[in-house]
Amino acid sequence: MPVVRKSLRSAHPHHDDLVEELCRHLRGVGDLPPLPRIVEDQDALSSHKRVYVLWPAWDSVVDGERAVIILEAYERALGTPEMLSVSVAVGVTPREADAQGLDL
């Protein structure tokens, strides 16, 4: 079966604003609201981690772009090595987290 490679493009009109807000939270700069909440689940067997971002702002962002925004924020705020340590990046709204039984 052939490999199909697709390019993920920034489609959301507030893509850069969402990235910057996540960067603020990753850096812990300023007086931060409780959401977005960034939860890192460290893999015990490797240096990789799964990252979940609970945020109502995801409601208007398609699933594929949510991961792109999270990874872009990790790279901008913490550097490429830290971004590359993220094996899974998932953005969910509070409603979606409840529906999926995620304890975030």
pLDDT means over runs of 10, the chain (104 residues): 72 91 93 95 88 97 93 97 96 96 92
* pLDDT value at residue 3: 84
* pLDDT value at residue 8: 62
Tell if the pTM clears 0.75, that is, is over it: yes
* pLDDT value at residue 64: 86
CATH no. of 15-26+34-100: 3.30.300.90
* pLDDT value at residue 91: 97
Please name the helix (run of DSSP H) or strand (run of DSSP E) that holds residue 87, with its range, or none.
Answer: strand 86-92
Q: Output phi, psi for 3, to 5 deg.
A: -90, 130
* pLDDT value at residue 10: 63
Domain spans of the chain, in order of start: 15-26+34-100
Q: Is 54 helix (H, G, I), strand (E, B) or coil?
A: strand
